[in-house]
Structure 1
Amino acid sequence: MSEPLISIRNLCVDYITESGDVRACNNVSFDIAPGEVFGLAGESGCGKSTVAFSLMRLHKPPAYISGGEVIFNGENILEYSDDRMQAFRWSEMSMVFQSAMNALNPVLPMEEQFCDVIMRHTNMTREQAKQRAEGLLEIVDIHPSRLSDYPHQFSGGMRQRLVIAIALALNPKLIIMDEPTTALDVVVQREILQKIYALKEEFGFSILFITHDLSLMVEFSDRIGIMYSGELIEVAKSQDILENPYHPYTKGLGSSFPPLTGPKTKLAGIPGNPLNLLEIPEGCRFQARCDRVHETCTKVPTKLRSIEPGHLSNCHLYGDPIVQRKL
């Protein structure tokens, strides 16, 4: 694997509540290489979007980053001043937000929204920014004449392409895509993902792709990280996550969607409910929902470790010889 474009090291993000601080992300660590699509999957509330907003430093109170580093091109961007971070966003790292309609300003035509981003970060004149915006619309297969239209005049799929075009405006090296196909039908989902992948191949940027749809992610991502209750519990190549998962939670996610070929199989869901982060148990966070739980799982903290080359898991069933002997 080449030198990473971005390295997240032991990222911790807490939320202040009346009942005490809640750690939504606990020592999350992963790398993304240049040109790589890294997927981040897990149930709703597992911390995926919190990671994304923290990388962009767009998290708002009561959230705060309580620890860790985010190394981008050799520099820890968590140490950047607000002004430097403002210049960094969109030019080096941009984001496609979860709901395109909510991400766009409903009372401004698209020309204003494109030009605002472009002129705020460059020395372009208004006319130059408009020409750049027209070029961006063509890139995502929207006619430049639509630049004067308002967001409500576009379909859901077109609005999503508009948000992608804005994210591409300053040629960033990394684009974070937080549920980029939410609320779109499956046909439009595929069109959007095919367009994203074609643009990645053309411009060479990296992608952090966030979704709870593991089947969608396996098809689109090079590597996948699985999150559960604020922790990264497994990281591997996408096909390995699908065909050879080590963590019981990952296996549960994989069995929650039907195969498109072969005999019909009964879908097996994951029993129980997500963990209450105010009541973190000793040992593994997945113990209450795991069908292979052992005494060790209830006492020994888990740690992400290499099971085989390129495949990491924090499950006690694998990787730690001392624990394995007890199991």
Structure 2
Amino acid sequence: MSKLIEIRNLSVDYVTFDGRVRAVNDVSFHINKGEIVGLAGESGCGKSTIAYSLMRLHRPPALISEGKILFEGRDVLAMNEEQLRNFRWKETSMVFQSAMNCLNPVKTIEYQFWDIFEAHGMVKDRKESIEKAKELLRIVDIPTERLFDYPHQFSGGMRQRVVIAMALALKPKLLIMDEPTTALDVVVQREILQKVYQLKEQFGFSILFITHDLSLMVELCDRIGIMYSGQLVELAPSKEILSMPLHPYAHGLGDSFPTLHGELQEMKGIPGTPLDLKNVPEGCRFAPRCFKATESCKIVDPKLISVSENRWVACHTPLEIQINN
């Protein structure tokens, strides 16, 4: 499979009065064409910061301080404003966190579609815009007569599907979904994710799927990256993340979710608290919470290395077999 987007040694800082806080530290991974890659981890681990970086949506005090983002070989970080305008939404689009609250409450759905098409020169008049908008609503299973309604007249799940339709309006090659099912019940979550997968199969775009819900991600993604305190600590095929985790943090995340089949098992939390990024210690950032930490873990920060085909881990003492106790 050929690469669609490649992130190389990406670092993002937030500039504060007390100095810089590194929210993303030396992260590298890629997404192939037609692939779904997930990023999982606790709140504040840097998932959304990476997502915003891919489209250069950050505003001060955020600063992309190091690295490259290559989209089909073009450096996104070197694009000027005109190139960015053509890149955003046409080649890469995003469903934002709490997307169902992103719609303008005083404008009809039809107007908001028109705003997208008109801004990017995709239609010659309002009539063509309406026809394109109706086609997109059909794709996400919303009756076309609802086009002239206001957002408050839709349920949460329907608003979420409208936002997904808008994100697909310009037929992007990469769709970034930042916790797209937040605040929705599990039935609606499943319906929306099934629809997204069907659309991916139909149109062939790639997806970066971001959530803290690892069990939800396993059902949808081809590969999953585990983030901890701004770093990518493991990257593996989705099924192997739960069945054979290599990083102790990935193992802890798996134990934090209930099993859907088999005997009942006690869920276990990860001891300790997330790292304060203003006071990053030497060595591995997860060491204070890790049951396998050694003295070297407290001194040397492990790098993300390949341990087998399609598997990467940043750990001095990776788990070699599944731990059942």
Q: Does TM, scored on the shorter chain, surpass 0.5? A: yes
The C-alpha deviation readout for 1:177-215, integer Å capped at 9, x for no partner, is: 000100000000000000000000000000000000000
Provide Cα deviations, 1:101-139, integer angstroms capped at 9, x if missing partner. 331111110111111111211341221111100100000
Which position in structure 2 is the counterpart of 1:37? 36
- Displaced runs of 4 or more, over 2 A: none
Deviations along 1:157-182, whole A, 9 cap, x unmatched?
Answer: 00000000000000000000000100
2:80 is equivalent to residue 81 of structure 1: yes
Instruction: Write the distance in 2 (CA, Å) between the matches of 1:246 and 1:260.
Output: 22
Report the Cα distance in structure 1 between the residues aligned to 2:101 and 2:191, rounded to whole angstroms: 21
Shift of 1:279: 0.8
Number of the residue aligned with 1:62: 61
Query: Over aligned residue pairs, what C-alpha RMSD do you find?
Result: 1.0
Deviates more, 1:43-52 or 1:114-123: 114-123
1:224 & 1:305 partners in 2: Cα distance? 15
Instruction: Specify the alignment match of 1:262 in structure 2.
Output: 262
Q: Which residue pairs with 2:187 in the alignment? A: 187
CA distance in 1, matches of 2:194, 2:100: 21
CA distance in 2, matches of 1:177, 1:212: 12
Quote the residue 1:323 is aligned against.
none
User: In structure 2, how many angstroms separate the alpha carbons of the residues matched to 1:34 and 1:290?
Assistant: 35
CA contact (8 A) 1:307 1:318 kept: no
| TM-score normalised according to structure 2 size | 0.96
Counterpart of 2:117 in structure 1 is 118
Which has the higher mean CA deviation after the structures are superposed, 172-181 or 53-62? 53-62
Mapped partners of 1:108, 1:78: distance in 2: 33
Matched, 1:217 2:217: yes
- In the aligned structure 1, how far is the partner of 2:33 from the partner of 2:25? 25
| Alpha-carbon separation, structure 2, partners of 1:123 and 1:250 | 44
CA–CA distance in 2 between the matches of 1:230 and 1:261?
A: 33
Could you report, residue by residue, the CA deviation over 1:3-58 in whole angstroms, capped at 9, with x for unpaired residues?
20000001111001122100100111110001100000000000000000111111
Query: Residue 2 of structure 2 corresponds to which residue in structure 1?
Result: 3
Taking the aligned partners of 1:75 and 1:68, their CA distance within structure 2 comes to: 13
Kindly indicate whether the alpha-carbon contact (under 8 Å) linking 1:6 and 1:71 is maintained by their aligned counterparts in 2. Answer: yes
1:231 aligns with 2:203: no
The aligned length equals 318
In structure 2, the residue corresponding to 1:113 is in which secondary structure? helix
Write the mapping of 1:136-215 to structure 2, written as runs, cut at 5 A: 136-215=136-215
2:253 and 2:122 map into 1 onto residues whose CA distance is 47
Rounded Cα–Cα distance in structure 2 between residues aligned with 1:302 and 1:279: 18
Which amino acid in the other structure matches residue 194 of structure 1? Q
1:285 aligned residue? 285
Task: Confirm or deny: 8 A CA contact 1:110 1:151 kept in the other structure.
Answer: yes
Any idea what SS the aligned residue of 1:306 has? Answer: strand
Which stretches in structure 2 are left out of the alignment for 5+ residues? 320-325
**In the alignment, is the contact (CA less than 8 A) between 2:293 and 2:317 conserved in 1?**
no
Q: Which amino acid aligns with 1:133?
A: A
What is residue 276 of structure 2 aligned with on the other side? 276
SS in 2 for 1:16: strand
Q: Percent identity?
A: 61
- Equivalent position of 1:252 in the other structure: 252
Distance 1:180 1:248 in 2: 27
8 Å contact 1:174–1:208 — kept in the other structure?
Answer: yes
1:284: Cα distance to partner?
Answer: 0.3
Where in structure 1 are there 5+ consecutive unaligned residues?
320-327
Q: Quote the Cα distance in structure 2 between the aligned partners of 1:54 and 1:112.
A: 29
Q: Which amino acid aligns with 1:230?
A: G
> 2 CA distance for matches of 1:152 and 1:187?
21
- Alpha-carbon displacement from aligned partner over 1:62-99 (angstroms, at most 9, x marks no partner): 10110111100110011001121012100000000111
The amino acid that maps onto 1:171 is: K
How far residue 281 of structure 1 moved from its aligned partner, in angstroms, is 0.9
Which one-letter code corresponds to 1:66 in the other structure? S
- The residue aligned with 1:325 is none
* TM-score normalised according to structure 1 size: 0.96
Distance 1:123 1:72 in 2: 22
